[in-house]
Amino acid sequence: MATLLAIIRPGGRTQRCDARCYDARKGSDCDCVCSGVNHAAGRDVAMILTRQQVQAWIAAAREADPDIDHIEIGLEAQAIPLF
């Protein structure tokens, strides 16, 4: 399961955007850090959407919760394919 984005809060509380989000059924509930953008999008599309929007999601998360410990962006979601 590829984690696209993980927001880690004090005490280890973690919010992730991963397969539970991008492989979810369309129309099911979503309270993900991606604000539902990747919800039911499938892994490949979610990867592209995450590359495009991850900085905005991080900014929104930091604004909502300044106590965030750290943030991890999945390696695949960081990489820009050369070909």
Q: Which is nearer to Zn ion, 29 or 82 (CB)?
A: 29
Interacting residues with Zn ion between 33 and 52 (CB under 5 A): 34, 38
- Told to check if 77 binds Zn ion by CB under 5 A, we report no
Q: Which is nearer to Zn ion, 20 or 69 (CB)?
A: 20
Is the Cβ–Cβ distance between 15 and 7 less than 8 Å?
yes
Selected binder of Zn ion within 7, 17, 49, 73 (CB under 5 A)? 17
CB of 19 to Zn ion, least distance (A): 10
How far is 77 from 72, CA to CA, in rounded Å? 10
- Give every CB contact of residue 3 below 8 A, 6+ residues apart in sequence: 16, 17, 18, 72, 74
